[in-house]
């Protein structure tokens, strides 16, 4: 199926529980919160933005007159990105030549994992896709972790991500992979947004986040929060453990850029290379190395808990909290974390997609590649 332009997109699809039936949704879901699941589904029918399984082909925006666009560099972001890369690479060099204790790196690694969890489990699976429900203390913990990642406030992250899902690979996609690897990876942060991103992005429903007290608090106090939580605190902790102040700071920068690149691989590599077993008509791919290296999306140094190993699957079934129908934890630490929280009662209402629906979809729109790989 080629990406078709159709006016059907105007009413982009909401995930409807009724399509799958409550019974089927029980599949693969365990433990507590079962009794609340149906209520959750009902409540969320009206605001969860996802692409329903059989109707994903309708999500591409309709043809409209081209908006003139000239690439314009966003100097502020470009300079900031350059400076943090300079310091981060300096930190990496000091680490490689043995000027930095491994212990210091280990501390930053743990902090980086928390940031990754905040991105994958928090901003992505909880806030952007509402693929499960969480208690307020867990929401606060996830927001704290997401702050460590310094990838914009949850509100902005979710807005960009919902726009990405709704307008994948069009001018309205903030990191449109049709504009090349570098643009999809980090270039999109270094130029002014395409007018379509702003215009069509405004059609994405963000009302649930506007009414979310945790998200609103983080958004209001974002600058002081990242300064303290993502930069000062990690540096002080590492310095307190015996590292020099300079090296502690450089390591904080290295941890930050490493996590950024692992996250960005999902937008670049996972949209350009790999198989498409679930839907060959869309660009997101199954990309095991992105999984492996991007946290949970995968982790080079287990640094990655996060990203989406199963990106073709994820774009077909964004409402699945596992992002993969298999729920295998070795490439999906975030799903393990969510399940552990469910065991303690902090998570409930986890959404999944029944296997038979997935298999039917594979036969109908997949590219014929073997998808049971792990
Ligand atoms: Zn994507
Ligand atoms: Zn997503």
Q: Which helix (H) or strand (E) holds 348?
A: strand 347-348
Q: How far is the CA of 134 from the centre of ligand 1 (A)?
A: 24
Q: How distant, in Å, are the alpha carbons of 68, 176, 200, 240, 317 from that of 161?
A: 24, 12, 13, 37, 15
328 CA → ligand 2 middle, Å: 18
User: Rounded to an integer, what distance in angstroms lies between the CA atom of residue 314 and that of residue 331?
Assistant: 14
Residue with structure tokens 């489990």? 121
Q: How confident is the model at residue 67 (pLDDT cuts 50, 70, 90)?
A: low
Gap from CA of 290 to ligand 2 centroid (Å): 15
What integer pLDDT is reported at residue 95 of this predicted model? 95
DSSP sequence for 335-347: HHHHHHHHHTTSE
- Beta-carbon contacts of 244 under 8 Å, excluding residues fewer than 6 positions away, are none
Q: What is the mean pLDDT of the chain?
A: 78
Question: Please, are residues 349 and 25 in contact by the beta-carbon 8 Å criterion?
Answer: no
Local confidence band at 44 (pLDDT 50, 70, 90 cut-offs): very low
Specify the pLDDT at position 355: 85
Cα(123)–Cα(347) distance, integer angstroms = 15
Tell me, in angstroms, the distance from the centre of ligand 2 to residue 97's CA: 38
Q: What is the pLDDT of residue 265?
A: 85
Note the ligand closest to the C-alpha atom of 50. 2
Q: Report how far ligand 2's centroid is from the alpha carbon of 161 (Å).
A: 6
- Measured in Å, residue 266 CA sits from the centre of ligand 1 at 7
Distance 316 CA to ligand 2 centre (A): 10
Identify which ligand lies nearest to the alpha carbon of 263: 1
The encoded tokens of residue 166 equal 């709704």
Q: How far is the CA of 314 from the centre of ligand 2 (A)?
A: 6
Residue 329's pLDDT is what? 61
Phi first, then psi, for residue 321 (nearest 5°) are -65, -20
Ligand 2 midpoint to CA 130 (Å): 10
Looking at all shown ligands, the one closest to residue 161's CA atom is: 2
Tell me how far the alpha carbon of residue 50 lies from the centroid of ligand 1, in angstroms. 13
Domain locations in the chain as residue ranges: 7-64+73-365
Q: 35 CB contacts (<8 Å, ≥6 apart)?
A: none
Q: How far apart are CA 49 and CA 209, in angstroms?
A: 12
- Rounded to the nearest angstrom, the distance between the alpha carbon of 119 and the centre of ligand 1 is 14
Residues with beta carbon < 5 A to ion ligand 1? 284
Q: How far is the CA of 285 from the centre of ligand 1 (A)?
A: 9
| CA–centroid distance, residue 233 to ligand 2 (Å) | 30
Q: Are 153 and 367 in contact (CB under 8 A)?
A: no
Q: Please tell me the distance from the alpha carbon of residue 292 to that of residue 269, in angstroms, as a whole number.
A: 13
So what's the pLDDT on residue 324? Answer: 62
Rounded CA separation 332/304 (Å): 10
Structure-token match 């310091």, residue found: 87
pLDDT at 19 over 70: no
304 Cα–ligand 2 center, Å:
16
54: pLDDT confidence band, cut at 50, 70 and 90? very low
Highest averaged pLDDT of the listed ranges 185-189, 300-304, 332-336:
185-189
- The whole-angstrom separation of Cα 89 and Cα 251 is 9
The pLDDT of residue 43: 36
Q: Is residue 31 pLDDT above 70, yes or no?
A: no
295 pLDDT exceeds 70?
Answer: no
**What's the gap between Cα 251 and its chain centre?**
24
CA–CA dist 107, 234 (Å, integer): 8
Model pLDDT, residue 331: 61
Q: Give the highest mean pLDDT range of 246-250, 261-265, 290-294.
A: 246-250
pLDDT at position 365: 83
The DSSP line for 14-77 is: BP-HHHH-HHHHHTT--STTHHHHHHHHHHHTTT-B---GGGGGGGSPPP-PPPP----B-HHH
Inter-CA distances, 133 with 115, 125, 208, 366, Å: 20, 10, 13, 30
Rounded to an integer, what distance in angstroms lies between the CA atom of residue 364 and that of residue 37?
29
Please tell me the distance between residue 202's alpha carbon and the centre of ligand 2 in angstroms. 18
How many Å lie between the centroid of ligand 1 and the Cα of residue 284? 6
Query: With 70 as the cut, is the pLDDT of residue 32 above it?
Result: no
């Amino acid at each position: 199926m080629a990406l078709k332009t159709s006016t059907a997109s105007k009413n982009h699809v909401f995930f409807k529980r009724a399509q799958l039936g409550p019974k089927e949704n029980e599949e693969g879901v365990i433990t507590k919160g079962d009794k609340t699941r149906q209520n959750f589904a009902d409540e969320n029918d009206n605001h969860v933005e996802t692409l329903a399984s059989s109707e994903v082909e309708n999500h591409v925006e309709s043809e409209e007159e081209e908006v003139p666009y000239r690439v314009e560099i966003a100097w502020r972001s470009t300079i900031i990105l350059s400076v943090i890369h300079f310091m981060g690479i300096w930190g990496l060099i000091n680490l490689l030549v043995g000027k930095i204790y491994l212990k210091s790196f280990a501390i930053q690694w743990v902090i980086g994992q928390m940031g990754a969890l905040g991105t994958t489990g928090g901003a992505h699976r909880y806030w952007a896709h509402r693929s499960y429900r969480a208690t307020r203390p867990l929401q606060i913990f996830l927001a704290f972790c997401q702050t460590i990642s310094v990838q914009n406030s949850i509100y902005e992250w979710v807005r960009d991500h919902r726009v990405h899902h709704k307008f994948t690979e069009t001018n309205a996609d903030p990191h449109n992979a049709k504009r090349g690897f570098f643009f999809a990876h980090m270039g999109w942060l270094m130029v002014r947004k395409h007018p379509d991103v702003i215009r069509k992005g405004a059609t994405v429903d963000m009302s649930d986040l506007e009414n979310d007290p945790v998200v609103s608090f983080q958004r209001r106090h974002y600058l002081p929060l990242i300064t303290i939580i993502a930069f000062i605190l990690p540096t002080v902790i590492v310095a307190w453990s015996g590292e020099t102040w300079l090296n502690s700071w450089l390591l904080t920068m290295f941890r930050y850029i490493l996590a950024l690149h692992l996250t960005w691989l999902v937008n670049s590599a996972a949209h350009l290379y790999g198989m498409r077993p679930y839907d060959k008509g869309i660009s997101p791919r199954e990309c095991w190395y992105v999984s492996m290296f991007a946290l949970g999306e995968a982790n080079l140094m287990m640094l990655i808990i996060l990203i989406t190993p199963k990106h073709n699957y994820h774009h077909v079934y964004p409402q699945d909290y596992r992002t993969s129908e298999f729920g295998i934890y070795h490439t999906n630490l975030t799903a393990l974390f969510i399940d552990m929280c469910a065991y303690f009662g902090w998570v409930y209402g986890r959404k999944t997609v029944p296997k038979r629906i997935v298999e039917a979809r594979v036969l109908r729109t997949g590219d014929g590649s073997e998808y049971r790989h792990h």
